[in-house]
Chain A
Amino acid sequence: MKGLNIAAAALLCGAAICLSDGAAAQERIVKITGFGAKSGVVRVFGVNSEAAMKAAAEVINASGGVTLGDGTKAKLAIEFLDDRCNAEEGISVVRRIAATDAFIAVGPTCSNVAESLFGILQKKVNDPSDSGLQFPIIADVAAKGGLAKISEWAFRNVPSEFEMYKSLFAWLRKTHPNLKSIWGGVEKDFAHSNATFNVMIQQAESNQFQVLGKSEWLLADTTFSTQVREMKRANPEIVVISAHPFTTCGVLREMERQGVKPKLLIGLTSSSSIETLQGCAKQAEGIIIPTSFAPVNAEAQKAATNVAKHGGSADLHSAAAYEIMFILKDVIEKQKIMARPDTVAADRVKMRVGLAGLKTTFGLLGTVGRTEDREAIKPYLYVHAKKGTWQVLHTP
């Protein structure tokens, strides 16, 4: 009898193991790999992107995951690799991801890394003379204008800063007709800040503002007295700062110390983040920045809460990473991506075709348009710093 009981228990165990194996086989995991700067001065961008991707994956998984081409359901898993904002490391990271079963990568943080990465991709699809890597990448943060043009395998979900500042300076002209003179400040050695500064100045001049001059500093600078002294001497009515939160705060503090009080402050899109408020909320009071993200509706508020749960903060960059996860879910389902080791090459092509074919995508502030050259046309608004928070100033 005892032997019979043991045999029955063994049978039950075996059946349970078989059943659990079957259940595991039904639930597949699709890994999406993100990459960006998780160390160095711009570390916070990578941390926020990773948190946003995980938050979005959690929401997608909670609603059942993604449906793959063979009809099975899969959960999304996120892996995030650090490229230290270094082009060589970025190339290595992408080659590493492309060596796996991945059919897409999300990143990078820095525009200089994107420049190199997109350069190693095949420029034109189906060009047999071009031996570039055939692997789709969608950027969430790298914001320098026109980067996706480098390769047909490159996509971006970043706002058009050209459109944002064009609209902002036209609006400033209308709402502040008495203000005329502008002084510019730029973080000269950072590609994004530098490129956007040129856009800002061009738009300011197009709207009949008089640019008195500019001060330059570097991303790693910690003292700004000379630059602010130049600014003080010019006595401008508007100060435009094209720099990331770390040096923006340094300059604003120095402006306070030297008693420079312009009537209006304009900042770089990337500074419309929590880091600016944490670093210099008092000095940044009133600064106006165009942004493609603010928690102004239920969806955006939910996203901000979810991202915070994962240890990040939602800003225009991480919100883009959040949105990308939903875009990927959509493309995976529409293109019937199989996500199997034997379909990797086909899945990459399908993913590229799917992304290139998108006319509109999900956006936290509303529908996002897509351009022919694989860029996004994102809704935006102007925010200003008010009592330690970002508040909506105007919705164009």
Chain B
Amino acid sequence: MDFYLGLIQIIGVHTLLGLSAYCVLQTGQVSLAQAGFFAIGAYVAGMLTVLGHWPLIPALIVAAVLGGATACAVGFPALRVKGLMLVVATTAFGEAVRLFFFNFNYQLERGELKIGPHGGEGFRQIRYFPENGWSTLEVAIFIWVIVVIVMAALWWMDRTRAGAVLRAVGQDEFASQSSGINITAVKVTAMTVGGVIAGIGGGLFAHYTTHIEHVQFGVALASFAIAYPILGGLSNVFGTLIAVIFIQGFLIEGLRFMGDWRNLLFGGLIVLAMNVRPRGLIDENTSALFKRALWPRKDRAGA
């Protein structure tokens, strides 16, 4: 059972990572900086609980605020460019963050031990969960409460004017600008919200892996972050969740028994999925289908 609960934790944290990219993708921008915000959240939350003995929730709040503030600061200059140039700019930012933590050394003496981030050797012993007696089930529930709150907030936002504005900017920037939308403000806001979510995700990641180091926050993680919402579809937040379950649950864990063939199949199945479902696993039509199945009366009334 512990194995499945552990997997549920991983899916939860990766869903947060994917949702952070989902926010930015809504505005039509591709950001590879999410791994950087995730790293900031991981290190900040880890340092607060391990070095500062903070409880986890305030540590996650600070991680979220710092992730969001960094995203906002990065968003202003980075979002002046578009398309491939933005990909390059955000990749450079992500790498800069990774290299910062690669060189970041802040250790405190605790008895015979030195604890805290230790450059390339990483930051070990972030053992808040086991040291406070949290069971695997409790950790999984805690992570999923956060995931549900974030998903519900984004779901709600999708249905408000803010969501419509985000999508409008994503679908046609010039038309949106012509109708009076401040597209810089919209893009920076989306980036900031993405940074907040990535910061929370990073904070949780640090606490369930117990050890973090710069290599975990490289381009591969940034690619996963944007792959989840793209593969899952941008029509609603559930697409990202489905994609995370597909990649983490099925491709990585489910195919582990295939040994060396797993990596080959991994890429092949993603290509196949994108070919079969080019607009994502949950596209607009699938969303509408679900909606009709779940709320048939409302649908009829609308018709």
Contacts and interface: CB of A to CB of B under 8 A. Distances in A.
A38 B131 CA distance: 32
B3 interface: yes
A31 to B, nearest CB: 14
Nearest to A194: B120
A82 B2 contact: no
A87 B216 contact: yes
A115 B2 contact: no
B211 A95 contact: no
B150 interface: no
A360 to B, nearest CB: 27
Contact of B133 (A38, A130, A194): A130
B10 A119 contact: no
Contacts of A295: none
A28 interface: no
Interface string A117-133: 00110110000011111
A38 B127 CA distance: 28
B131 A129 contact: yes
A38 B257 CA distance: 13
A150 B259 CA distance: 29
Nearest to B102: A189
Nearest to A43: B260
Contacts of B102: 188-189
A132 B215 CA distance: 25
B211 A188 contact: no
Nearest to A84: B263
B131 to A, nearest CB: 6
B209 A133 contact: no
Nearest to B126: A119
A38 B210 CA distance: 23
Contacts of B129: 131
Given A89-B252, A119-B210, A191-B121, A112 B215 contact: yes
Given A112-B215, A189-B214, A87 B133 contact: no
Given A91-B209, A92-B6, A112-B215, A82 B260 contact: yes
B213 interface: yes
A47 B211 CA distance: 25
A273 to B, nearest CB: 20
Interface string B117-148: 00111101111011111110000000000000
A132 B3 contact: no
A112 B213 contact: yes
B1 A195 contact: no
A194 B213 CA distance: 13
Interface string A72-88: 00000000011010011
Interface string B228-259: 00000000000000000000000011001001
A189 B95 CA distance: 13
Nearest to A188: B120
B69 interface: no
Given A82-B262, A88-B10, A120-B130, A194 B121 contact: yes
Contacts of B214: 189
Nearest first, the 5 A-B pairs at minimum CB distance are A119-B210, A115-B211, A132-B130, A99-B3, A95-B3
Interface of A: 38-39, 81-82, 84, 87-89, 91-93, 95-96, 98-99, 112, 115-116, 119-120, 122-123, 129-133, 144, 150, 188-189, 191, 194-195
